[in-house]
Amino acid sequence: MRLYDTRSRRVEEVLPSPGRALRMHTCGPAVHHRPRLGDLRPHLLADLIRRAAERHGARVVVCRSVADIGDPGRDRDAARRHEEAFGADMEALNIRPCEFAPRATESVDLAIELIAGLIEKGHAYRAADGSVFFDAASFPSYGEISGNRLDRLRPGHRGEAAEPAKRFHADWALWRRSDGGEVWDSPWGSGLPAPNVVCTAMALRHLGGRVDVRVGGIESCFPYHEDERAQSNAATGHEAVGHWVHSGRLRFAGYDTDGPGERPPALAEVSAAGLDPLAVRLALMEHRYRREVTLTWDVLRAADETLRRWRARVAEWAESPSRPMSTGHAARVRAAFDDDLDTPLALRVLRELERDESASPGARFETFIDADFLLALDLSRDIGKTSPPLPPGAAELLDRRARARDARDWTAADRLRDELAALGVRVADTPGGQVAASVRDRP
């Protein structure tokens, strides 16, 4: 499994050695506003990486930090509402839950500990105004991710006003002194930790000091991820992140495609327009994750139509006798995912199979369901909606088979599948569990 590493500027193997988990870190929602489609794209990327790694049998551990520290006076209730909206969006896009979701406001002690360690190691200093700055000159390899080296940076490159307290204009704040609003006590006085230092502290704590894959949007590459790399490496004494993987920018154009671009809508607005939220997932997978993408309402409507058509075809194929999966198409889909997440190629392979009338309906069904482990488009959602009722005795056999699968008794599960087939019941094992439907023609 290979991904493009922004720092090395090449496609690299990312799976850890057998027996060790793949540790991945991604920043969660910025809770000062409801997340929009552009905010969600990096999390789709992380989910695709996770699913591809799990297809190889790897165990994946994800830390998705929540940046809920901001300016003094921020509305905490609004921040929680935006965080909840983000969680709802993750669920609607079929993005797997993460193992760790620490909040910055609950991790300030970790940030203070990290900052104190950086001061002790000579990578940070306390300024006269009570702020603490990272000493950029103490980290000579700064800029390896974005190419923005220290000797090329000019005062004000971060967009901030001149800060006389800094020793060097490229230094950045780890702690800001403040006496009002939302503040915490520290050895340097009351104030606020910088969001990126809390993010660094949370990732190092929950992922054990090493991160295999750091995921984010390309807009976070500089200065956010450059600062994060410097902080984490200086704190640990080693390269703390193995691979930096970034999604491209997402832009959105309104109904008038010749007019000026609009800000991307929230996912709830897509649903309110009558479209399946997973149409957004499909529309984004039509492009390589590293490319800049411009979505339109027309593009989302077309993705919604494809999604509904595929679900109808899968439900139709499910009523035919089971046949072995089209191994050639399935292998090409998996190979596309392994090759730097080439989702456009994977989708083209499925469209090719959809049109291939020489492939049996049962084989097409099995292949689409197998691919949906990676795509997560709920392609099995419509199975059984139009099929005849299950025959007597089928429900009991299905219950027994579900218990056998839970117990990982595959022999019993296969035997029960055969018994169900003899009754005229087609059973499919989908990412959401087994799904059954009566078939018109028994094998």
pLDDT tens by residue, 308-365: 999 999 999 988 887 888 889 999 999 999 999 999 999 999 999 999 999 999 999 9
The pair of three-digit structure tokens given for residue 137, joined into one six-digit string: 């000159």
What's the rounded Cα separation, in Å, for the pair 35 and 334? Answer: 31
Rg of the Cα atoms in the chain:
25
Q: What angle do CA 132, 137, 143 make, to 5 degrees?
A: 105
Q: Model pTM greater than 0.95? A: no
With CA atoms as reference, report the closest residue to 329 among 306, 305, 345.
345
Domains and CATH numbers, the chain: 2-247 (3.40.50.620), 255-375 (no CATH), 394-438 (no CATH)
**Residue owning tokens 């502290």:** 201
Backbone φ and ψ for 298, nearest 5 degrees, come out as -65, -40
What's the rounded Cα separation, in Å, for the pair 197 and 228? Answer: 7
Give the residue ranges of DSSP H helices in 163-296.
195-206, 226-236, 267-272, 278-285
Query: Any long-range contacts for 354-357 (C-beta under 8 Å, 24+ apart)?
Result: 354/310, 354/313
Query: Any long-range contacts for 160-164 (C-beta under 8 Å, 24+ apart)?
Result: none
CB 204 within 8 A of CB 114: yes
Pairing state between β 124-126 and 132-134: antiparallel
Cα–Cα distances in Å, from 429 out to 267, 373, 412? Answer: 29, 10, 15
pLDDT of residue 297: 93
What's the rounded Cα separation, in Å, for the pair 440 and 443? Answer: 10
Helix H or strand E segment including 407: none
What's the rounded Cα separation, in Å, for the pair 112 and 187? Answer: 8
The pair of three-digit structure tokens given for residue 80, joined into one six-digit string: 């929680």
Backbone φ and ψ for 192, nearest 5 degrees, come out as -130, 135
pLDDT of residue 258: 36
| DSSP 3-state percent helix, strand, coil across the chain (nearest 5) | 45, 20, 40
DSSP secondary structure code for residue 93 in this structure: T
In order along its 443 residues, the chain shows pLDDT tens digits of 999 999 999 999 999 988 899 999 998 876 777 889 999 999 999 999 999 999 999 999 999 999 888 654 456 777 788 889 999 999 999 999 999 999 999 999 999 999 999 999 999 999 988 999 999 999 999 999 999 999 998 887 776 766 888 999 999 999 998 877 789 999 999 999 999 999 999 999 999 999 999 999 999 999 999 999 999 999 999 999 999 999 999 999 853 333 344 568 999 999 999 999 999 999 999 999 999 999 999 999 999 999 999 999 999 998 888 788 888 999 999 999 999 999 999 999 999 999 999 999 999 999 999 999 999 999 999 887 766 777 888 888 888 998 888 887 878 888 888 888 888 887 877 666 777 777 654 43
